[in-house]
C-alpha cells in the first residue's frame, strides 16, 4: 500500500475499530494544456500527479472521518465542509440507481488543498471507486467520473466541467490523458519527460481559490451566451471566421476557447514527435490567451510564467481554473534550482506570498489498494 493508503487504513482502525473492508486512492491533477475548454465541449490534456487522497471504507456506521482535518462528520446532511464531496458521490450514485447502504469512511491524503490541483476530484474519485467496490457495483471508470461530476455540480454546487474527475479516474502513469469533452472519449498520450531531461515544476502561488466564489461560473455563462449568439450548441463548434460575428467580452472568451482547442490538438502532434520546444511554445501561447482573452490569470501566475521563461524553461502556463492556484513549467532538469530560486526572488521583490514549488511525475489514476494478507 502507498503511504496515504496506509494512513487512511490506520485512521479507520483508530476511529471505527476493526479493519476496513477496502482501501482506494485517487490522485490530484495538473492540466498540461486545454483550459476552460471542457465545459465548451472541447479538448483537454491533463495528467495525474503523484499526490493522492486515500479512503478506507467499511459497511455500517454512517460516519466520515478526515485524518488531515481530524474531523468526523455524519454521512447525513450537506454542511459546506470537505464531507460534502463523499456525501455528494453517495448521493449521485443513489440518484443513478446504485443503492448505497450505510457506510463509514476514513480519508487521508497529500494533495495540496485549495491550490487548484483538484483535491476535490481526488476525494470524489477515491470515494466513488471505493463505494462501487464495497457494494459490488460494476461501474466503468468513465461512468464513475460522470457520477463524480454530478456530485460536484448538483450536490456541492460548483458548475465544473468533466476534466478533473476524468483525470483522477482515467490517467495512467507516465502519460497524459487526451479527453474529447463532447464525446467523452479519452486516450492516454505517453509523456516521457525524463528521456527529454525535463522536469514538471509546479508553482503554488498560495493565492487560494474556491471555484464557487470566483468568476468561474461567470466565464461559463459568457461562453454559453457566445455560443447562442452564433447559433451553435457549444463553442467547440466555433471557428475563427465565426469570431467576426462577436464583440466585447463574448469575443474575447470565445477567441480563447477556439484557439485553445486548436492548441491542444497541435500539442498532441508535438508530443508524438517528442518536440517539447514546440509543446512549450503552445504552453506560453495558452497562458497569454488565458491572461489577455479569458482574463483568469493573476500577477503571481504571470510573474512565474515570465520569470521562468527568462530562465530558459521550455514552456509555462497557469494550470486549472486560474484566479490564483498553480502554474506549471517544463524545465530542463539541470535548471530546476535556478528557475525556482529566480521565481521565489521575483515573488519576494513583488511582495507576493512566498510560493511553494513541487516537482510531480505523471502518475496513475484511481486504484483499489492491495490489502495486506
Note the residues at the interface with ligand GLA (CB under 6 A): 35-36, 38-39, 160-161, 163-164, 320-321
What's the CA gap between 43 and 265, in Å, rounded?
Answer: 8
Whether 164 sits among the annotated catalytic residues: the reply is yes
Q: Which is nearer to ligand GLA, 304 or 347 (CB)?
A: 304
Q: Which of 224/275 has CB closer to ligand GLA?
A: 224
CB-nearer residue toward ligand GLA: 40 or 307 = 40
Cα–Cα distance measured from residue 312 to residue 277, given in angstroms and rounded to the nearest whole number: 11
- From the CB of 70, what's the least distance to ligand GLA, in Å? 27
Helix (H, G, I), strand (E, B) or coil at 205: coil
Length of the chain: 373
Between 39 and 279, name the residue whose CB sits nearer to ligand GLA: 39
Residue in this structure with the C-alpha cell 486549472, named with its chain if needed: 320
Pairing of strands 22-33, 367-368: antiparallel
Least gap, CB of 325 to ligand GLA (angstroms): 9
CB of 103 to ligand GLA, least distance (A): 26
The grid coordinates of residue 357 equal: 514549488
Is 164 or 300 the residue whose CB approaches ligand GLA more closely?
A: 164
Nearest Cα to Cα of residue 219 among 246, 189, 245, 257: 257
- Tell the smallest beta-carbon distance from residue 36 to ligand GLA (Å): 5
156 dihedral zone (left: phi>0; alpha: psi -120 to 50; beta):
alpha
Nearer residue to ligand GLA within complex by CB, 185 or 277:
185
How would you classify the pairing of strands 356-360 and 315-319?
A: unpaired
**CA-based nearest residue to 81, from 42, 113, 44, 104:** 113
CB of 113 to ligand GLA, least distance (A): 14
DSSP 277-309: HHHHHHHHHHHHHHHHTS----HHHHHHHHHHH
Annotated active-site residue in 38, 164, 204, 242: 164
Nearer to ligand GLA, 48 or 163 (CB): 163
For 59-93, the three-class secondary structure string (H helix, E strand, C coil) is: ECCCEEEECCCCEEEECCCCCCCCCHHHHHHHHHH
Least Å from the CB of residue 196 to ligand GLA: 25
Nearer to ligand GLA, 36 or 291 (CB): 36
* CB of residue 315 to ligand GLA, shortest distance in Å: 17
The DSSP symbol for 222 reads: H
Q: Which sign, positive or negative, has the C-alpha torsion 119, 121, 123, 125?
A: negative
Distance in Å, CB of 35 to ligand GLA, minimum: 4
* Ordered alpha helix ranges (H), the chain: 3-16, 84-95, 119-134, 141-150, 163-170, 216-230, 240-243, 248-272, 276-292, 299-310, 336-349
Please return the burial class of 59, using the count of CB atoms within 10 Å of its CB with bins 0-12, 13-18 and 19+. exposed
Computed from CA positions of residues 290, 152, 138, 67, in that sequence, does the dihedral angle turn out positive or negative?
Answer: positive
Please list the active-site residues: 164
Amino acid at each position: 500500500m502507498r503511504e496515504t493508503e496506509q494512513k487512511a487504513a490506520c485512521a479507520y482502525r483508530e476511529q471505527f475499530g476493526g479493519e476496513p473492508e477496502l482501501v482506494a486512492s485517487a490522485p490530484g491533477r495538473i492540466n498540461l494544456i486545454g483550459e476552460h475548454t471542457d465545459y465548451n465541449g472541447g479538448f483537454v490534456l491533463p495528467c495525474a500527479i503523484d499526490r493522492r487522497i486515500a479512503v478506507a471504507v467499511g459497511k455500517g456506521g454512517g460516519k466520515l472521518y478526515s485524518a488531515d482535518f481530524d474531523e468526523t462528520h455524519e454521512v447525513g446532511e450537506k454542511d459546506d465542509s470537505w464531507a460534502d464531496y463523499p456525501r455528494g458521490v453517495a448521493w449521485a450514485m443513489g440518484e443513478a440507481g446504485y443503492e448505497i447502504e450505510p457506510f463509514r469512511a476514513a480519508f487521508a491524503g497529500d494533495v495540496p488543498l485549495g491550490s487548484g490541483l483538484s483535491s476535490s476530484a481526488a476525494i470524489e474519485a477515491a470515494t466513488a471507486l471505493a463505494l462501487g467496490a464495497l457494494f459490488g457495483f460494476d461501474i466503468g471508470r468513465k461512468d464513475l467520473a460522470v457520477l463524480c461530476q454530478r456530485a460536484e455540480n448538483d450536490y456541492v454546487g460548483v458548475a465544473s466541467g468533466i476534466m478533473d474527475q476524468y483525470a483522477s479516474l482515467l490517467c495512467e502513469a507516465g502519460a497524459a490523458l487526451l479527453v474529447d469533452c463532447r464525446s467523452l472519449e479519452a486516450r492516454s498520450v505517453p509523456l516521457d519527460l525524463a528521456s527529454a531531461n525535463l522536469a514538471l515544476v509546479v508553482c503554488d502561488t498560495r493565492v487560494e481559490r474556491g471555484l464557487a466564489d470566483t468568476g468561474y461560473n461567470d466565464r461559463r455563462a459568457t461562453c454559453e451566451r457566445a455560443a447562442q449568439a452564433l447559433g451553435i450548441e457549444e463553442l467547440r463548434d466555433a471557428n475563427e471566421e465565426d469570431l467576426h460575428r462577436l464583440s466585447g467580452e463574448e469575443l474575447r472568451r470565445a477567441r480563447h476557447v477556439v484557439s485553445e482547442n486548436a492548441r491542444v490538438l497541435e500539442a498532441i502532434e508535438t508530443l508524438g514527435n517528442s518536440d517539447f520546444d514546440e509543446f512549450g511554445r503552445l504552453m506560453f501561447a495558452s497562458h497569454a490567451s488565458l491572461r489577455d482573452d479569458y482574463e483568469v490569470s493573476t500577477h503571481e501566475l504571470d510573474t512565474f510564467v515570465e520569470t521562468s521563461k527568462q530562465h530558459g524553461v521550455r514552456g509555462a502556463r497557469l494550470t486549472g481554473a486560474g484566479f490564483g492556484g498553480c502554474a506549471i513549467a517544463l524545465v530542463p532538469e539541470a535548471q530546476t534550482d535556478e528557475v525556482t530560486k529566480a521565481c521565489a526572488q521575483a515573488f519576494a521583490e513583488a511582495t507576493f506570498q512566498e510560493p511553494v514549488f513541487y516537482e510531480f511525475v505523471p502518475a496513475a489514476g484511481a486504484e483499489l489498494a492491495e490489502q495486506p494478507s
